[in-house]
Amino acid sequence: MSAFIEKTIGQLLKEQAEKIPDHDALIFPEFGIKQNYRDFYRHTRDVAKGFMALGVKQGDHVSVWTTNLPEWVYLQFGLGMIGAVLVTVNTNYKSHEIEYILKQSDSTTLVLMEAYRDTNYYETVHQVVPELKHANPGALASRALPFMKNVVYVGPRTDTPGMFKFAEIVEMGKKISDTELDARMEVLDVHDVINMQYTSGTTGFPKGVMLTHYNIVNNARMVGDVMGMTPEDRLLIQVPLFHCFGCVMSTLNSVCHGSTMVVLENFDPLKALQAVDSEKCTAINGVPTMFIAMLAHPDFDRYNMKTLRTGIMAGAPCPVETMNQVRTKMHCSEVVIAFGQTECSPVMTMTRRDDPVELRVSTVGRLLPDIEGKIIDPDTGEDSPVNTQGEIVTRNKCVMKGYYKMPEATASAIDRDGWLHTGDLGTVDENGYFKVTGRIKDMIIRGGENIYPREIEEFLHRNPKVNDVHVVGIPDEKYGEQVLAAIQLKAGVASSAEEFIEYCTRKIARHKIPKYWEFVSEYPMTASGKVQKYKLRELFKDKYGKSASKG
């Protein structure tokens, strides 16, 4: 068991650059970037000095709204060196959401790219901050965003009124001496907030989760220890960096262990297969939908996966069949499951590499070292007996400082005894292995019977025609709720509701058999790859909700 370490993000990178200067640190195949730890550290320092020259002070909030660009990684470690708080912005946000985040976070600086998917960030920011057109760079005065002074642009435009270009910031940094940067690094405290992650906001307004150097460095270290990460490992990073899965469990994990980061700008199954093959990746992180897409790709067999050893599946329930294929077809024999949430930096439990396969496919593992966790009755708050379902709660040194400027939300998430209430339902067995049975709000109550979508999803995943499946509750006049299954079939196969009802009959309880069946080609997703069940519910609520009163 490893003791907690007291290092800032900057100290961590500096130590690795001194210890293994010539070892590969950062590879971006799409951008032709390959840097060893010496070069990566040097480049990160140049970025840090640039933002110091811009006037970014310790404790200032800097929002970063880009995909997985090289600049994102330099900013993560560079802002960490100068004690500025990195505010991570979801790449799927639109104008209303970006305005909310920039205002709620009191950001002084925004770094943005040109565009992503159907959103032009450059134009969106002009809608939110019309004053940009006539402002001098660094002297923005916005009515909507009183704290915002600097906007930094990453992209192809040559003319960006009111904005600095990223390269200009790095150039400005030449005015700052190494001594000045080192002095700033020296005054930082490991318990300073360094990261502000906005929860995805699937319900209500997003909340800014305040995480410290200590929180995320130690969580990253523990995660990598469980994976067995060393300088010999090369981790494919295809999850969004704005999410803890990207910037804690992937980039920070790699730097903690002197491993190599192989980063994709965004997830693409073919590019992922190519990167594993060409860069000889030994580890791969992803949500289940990513692994499902890679395994289903028609060119899968053309690429060599034999260098893979370990990886993490997390962020959503991991289907048994997918886990088994990742272990066998992808040669990822030591793949593990991780469970947690942003509010605990984020990982709370993991399966272990040497766990029997049945535990690795049926549980989310045991608590990480020095992390407390238990199951409580959500109604009474009393501890639940072994193998009895209740709410998963945790108390540990990786738990957030709180939600930014939201004391009431913080108090409802973390109780007076320091327990973080996850809102997830689960059980723990006599050996300390946790299972997640669903979200409290995901639970379907049909005619007084509690139904847990996860159980039905796991069952349906066994059907050879199923590629992916998600189960939700649809409002019903008679029963309160009815069960709907949205199924994505494997390529080239057909099926029907009748066939699936027959498949379920006599295998699962009658009340658990979905009343409604939808065959879909895709699911509504967050940018981090999680299926948005509330959107699925909304999608089919009107179709079935009013007529759902019989049977």
DSSP string of 271-339?
Answer: HHHHHHHHHT-SEEEE-HHHHHHHHH-TTGGGS--TT--EEEE-SS---HHHHHHHHHTT--TEEEEEE
Q: Which CATH architecture has domain 449-544?
A: 2-Layer Sandwich (3.30)
What residues contact residue 108 under an 8 Å CB cut-off, 6+ apart? 56, 60, 61, 62, 147, 148, 149, 150
User: Tokens 């565009």 appear where?
Assistant: 115
Quote the pTM value: 0.89
Give me the pLDDT at residue 200, please: 57
Give me the pLDDT at residue 441, please: 75
What residues contact residue 184 under an 8 Å CB cut-off, 6+ apart? 52, 58, 81, 82, 83
Q: What is the mean pLDDT of each run of 10 residues along the chain (551 residues)?
A: 86 98 98 98 98 98 98 98 97 89 98 94 96 97 97 97 98 98 98 91 73 98 98 97 96 98 98 98 94 96 98 83 93 95 96 91 92 94 96 97 96 96 94 89 81 88 96 89 96 97 89 95 86 89 65 42
Work out the angle at residue 101's Cα, subtended by the Cα atoms of residues 99 and 107, and round it to the nearest 5 degrees: 95
- Give the helix ranges, DSSP H, for 427-532: 453-460, 497-504
Q: Cα–Cα distance between 167 and 174 in angstroms, integer?
A: 12
Domain 449-544 in the same topology as domain 37-198 = no
Give me the pLDDT at residue 362, please: 86
Give me the pLDDT at residue 440, please: 79
Give me the pLDDT at residue 451, please: 86
Q: Cα–Cα distance between 470 and 535 in angstroms, integer?
A: 12
Q: Is residue 258 a contact partner of residue 19, using CB atoms and an 8 Å limit?
A: yes
Radius of gyration of the chain (CA): 24
Q: Cα–Cα distance between 203 and 117 in angstroms, integer?
A: 23
CATH number for the region 37-198 comes to 3.40.50.12780
- Answer positive or negative: Cα dihedral of 116, 118, 123, 127: negative
Boundaries of every domain in the chain: 37-198, 449-544
Reduced 3-state DSSP string for 347-360: EEEECCCCCCHHHH
